[in-house]
């Protein structure tokens, strides 16, 4: 047994509450910022990290329940919501990455590394296991940010002031654990009006934008190669589905934790669907910055409130898209295109859960946000809305049940 002074079980609970708070704030800010970040590489990382942050929260909440803490945000320091707001109120990619990753996640990683020494680890083995479980993802995230940040920092002059503000807030609250020395609260820099939720999803200015009138679906039987490329370009554009879920997640903080954990996973799944498209189009000889970006789906969906977007996605678009995936798997298997068949088989498997989550959470959303409609009524209304408003013919076909 180490002769060092250890934290009590009550202090341990307070530390864990703060760790969970920071990861939950990171999850929400990164979700909200996913559509606002134009850099493609950053989007790919952030989509994964929304899920890893959510899962870290879930694991810590589990340990807190074992320690008989059922309300992990109760009596939390008032400075922590200020840090969460500062994440959200970042002005650009550099400020998001600097505050979330280079300040808070980096210090959280250090706190998790020292937690086994801080606690009575001989008696608190389950918390030690939690720390050991969370460290590898956090290490990867921080290493990514350290390597990536210098490639974009020069594009966003002035980011240092916002980073310093968050460094100051954290120091004023005794650091990650809250037990350190407390410095004086920093002054909030000027400006920084909240940009979330993003009404239009952002892309690098030189990336091509999708033109609906030029989107002609090649015939699957007579032009299988043309069809395959067309289909995987649309997969690449599932980035917009991830972005839609990011804004939905950011706009529905009143919902219970289990919903947020599910939506974070749903977001990452859609990012993975974009990535299976990205992998396949590159194998087929295209560069990512040659794929026209279907920003229109995100932008038109953002004219709807979050509840309606969620109902549209999970009770109309996703169930209606299922039969096409089964047909495509059989089609590619018949052509012995194992890679395409494997990709779509995992997409299909993920979609089963998305539809199930839609059935579970749409009624709760309707109730929470005081909609008078039943889940059936909102589904019918959203189906009609999509026929009017979608810029993508593929989705219109799905609404008509044509494959
Ligand atoms: Fe998908
Ligand atoms: Fe999906």
Q: How far is the CA of 327 from the centre of ligand 2 (A)?
A: 17
Q: What is the DSSP letter of 293?
A: B
Q: Report the alpha-carbon distance of residue 128 to residue 113 in Å, rounded.
A: 9
Write down all domains in the chain, each with its CATH number in brackets: 9-172 (1.20.1260), 212-399 (1.20.1260)
Cβ atoms 383, 316 nearer than 8 A: yes
Number of helices followed by number of strands (H, E) in the chain: 16, 0
Ligand minimally distant from the alpha carbon of residue 352: 2
Q: How far is the CA of 328 from the centre of ligand 1 (A)?
A: 14
Angle subtended by helix axes 159-172 and 79-88, to nearest 10: 160
Q: How far is the CA of 347 from the centre of ligand 1 (A)?
A: 6
Q: Report the alpha-carbon distance of residue 56 to residue 46 in Å, rounded.
A: 15
Q: What is the DSSP letter of 69?
A: -
Q: Report the alpha-carbon distance of residue 16 to residue 59 in Å, rounded.
A: 10
Q: Report the alpha-carbon distance of residue 20 to residue 126 in Å, rounded.
A: 16
Bridge partners, 293 (sequence order): 209
Q: What is the pTM of this model?
A: 0.96
Q: How far is the CA of 140 from the centre of ligand 1 (A)?
A: 25
Q: Report the alpha-carbon distance of residue 234 to residue 273 in Å, rounded.
A: 10
> Which stretch of DSSP H or E encloses residue 7?
none
pLDDT score of 223:
97
pLDDT score of 403:
44
The three-state secondary structure class of 247 is helix
Alpha helices (H) along 221-256? 224-236, 239-251
Q: Around Cβ 120, how many Cβ atoms within 10 Å? A: 17
- Give Cα separations from 283 to 262, 277, 288, 333, 386 (angstroms): 31, 10, 11, 18, 33
Q: Around Cβ 343, how many Cβ atoms within 10 Å? A: 24
User: Within a 13 Å sphere around the CA of 217, how many CA atoms are in the beta-carbon half?
Assistant: 13
> Which is nearest to 220 in space by CA: 41, 402, 35, 79?
402
Full pLDDT tens readout for the chain, 403 residues:
445 689 999 999 999 999 999 999 999 999 999 999 999 999 999 999 999 999 999 999 999 999 999 999 999 999 999 999 999 999 999 999 999 999 999 999 999 999 999 999 999 999 999 999 999 999 999 999 999 999 999 999 999 999 999 999 999 999 999 999 999 999 999 999 999 999 999 999 999 999 988 889 999 999 999 999 999 999 999 999 999 999 999 999 999 999 999 999 999 999 999 999 999 999 999 999 999 999 999 999 999 999 999 999 999 999 999 999 999 999 999 999 999 999 999 999 999 999 999 999 999 999 999 999 999 999 999 999 999 998 777 666 665 554 4
Q: Report the alpha-carbon distance of residue 356 to residue 212 in Å, rounded.
A: 30
Cβ atoms 34, 246 nearer than 8 A: yes
Q: How far is the CA of 318 from the centre of ligand 2 (A)?
A: 6
Q: How far is the CA of 395 from the centre of ligand 1 (A)?
A: 12
Q: Report the alpha-carbon distance of residue 309 to residue 366 in Å, rounded.
A: 12
Which tokens hold the place of 92?
A: 């650009």
Q: How far is the CA of 124 from the centre of ligand 2 (A)?
A: 39
Q: How far is the CA of 242 from the centre of ligand 1 (A)?
A: 8
Cβ atoms 128, 228 nearer than 8 A: no
Ligand minimally distant from the alpha carbon of residue 271: 1
Cβ atoms 176, 18 nearer than 8 A: yes
Ligand minimally distant from the alpha carbon of residue 310: 2
Q: Report the alpha-carbon distance of residue 62 to residue 65 in Å, rounded.
A: 5
Cβ atoms 137, 56 nearer than 8 A: yes
Cβ atoms 260, 245 nearer than 8 A: no
Tokens 């989705």, located at residue: 395
Angle at 39 between CA 36 and CA 45, to 5 degrees: 90
């Amino acid at each position: 047994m180490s002769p060092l002074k250890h934290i009590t079980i009550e202090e341990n609970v307070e530390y864990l509450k703060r760790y969970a708070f920071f990861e939950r704030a990171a999850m929400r800010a990164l979700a909200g910022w996913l559509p606002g970040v134009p850099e493609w590489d950053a989007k790919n990382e952030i989509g994964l990290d929304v899920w890893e942050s959510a899962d870290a929260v879930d694991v810590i909440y589990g340990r807190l329940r074992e320690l008989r803490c059922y309300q992990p945000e109760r009596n939390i320091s008032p400075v922590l919501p200020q840090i969460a707001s500062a994440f959200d109120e970042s002005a650009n990619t550099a400020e998001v990455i600097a505050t979330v990753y280079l300040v808070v996640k980096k210090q959280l990683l250090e706190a998790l590394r020292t937690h086994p020494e801080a606690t009575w680890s001989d008696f608190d083995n389950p918390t030690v296991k939690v720390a050991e479980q969370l460290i590898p993802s956090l290490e990867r995230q921080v290493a990514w940010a350290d390597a990536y940040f210098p490639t974009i920092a020069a594009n966003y002059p002035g980011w240092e002031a916002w980073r310093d503000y968050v460094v100051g807030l954290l120091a004023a609250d005794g650091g990650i654990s809250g037990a350190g020395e407390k410095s004086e609260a920093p002054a909030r820099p000027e400006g920084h009006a909240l940009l979330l939720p993003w009404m239009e999803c952002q892309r690098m200015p030189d990336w091509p934008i999708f033109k609906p009138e030029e989107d002609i679906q090649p015939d699957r039987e007579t032009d299988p190669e043309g069809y395959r490329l067309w289909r995987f370009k649309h997969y690449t554009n599932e980035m917009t589905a991830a972005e839609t879920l990011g804004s939905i997640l950011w706009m529905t903080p009143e919902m219970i934790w289990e919903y947020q954990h599910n939506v974070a996973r749903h977001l990452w799944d859609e990012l993975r669907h974009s990535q299976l498209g990205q992998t396949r189009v590159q194998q087929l000889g295209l560069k990512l910055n040659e794929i026209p970006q279907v920003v229109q789906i995100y932008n038109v969906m953002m004219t709807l409130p979050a509840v309606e977007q969620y109902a549209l996605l999970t009770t109309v678009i996703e169930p209606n898209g299922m039969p096409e995936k089964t047909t495509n798997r059989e089609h590619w298997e018949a052509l012995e295109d194992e890679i395409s068949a494997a990709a779509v088989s995992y997409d299909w498997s993920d979609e089963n859960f998305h539809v199930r989550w839609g059935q579970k959470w749409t009624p709760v959303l309707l109730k929470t946000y005081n909609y008078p409609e039943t889940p059936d009524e909102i589904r019918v209304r959203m189906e009609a809305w999509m026929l009017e408003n979608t810029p993508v013919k593929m989705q219109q076909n799905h609404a008509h049940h044509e494959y």
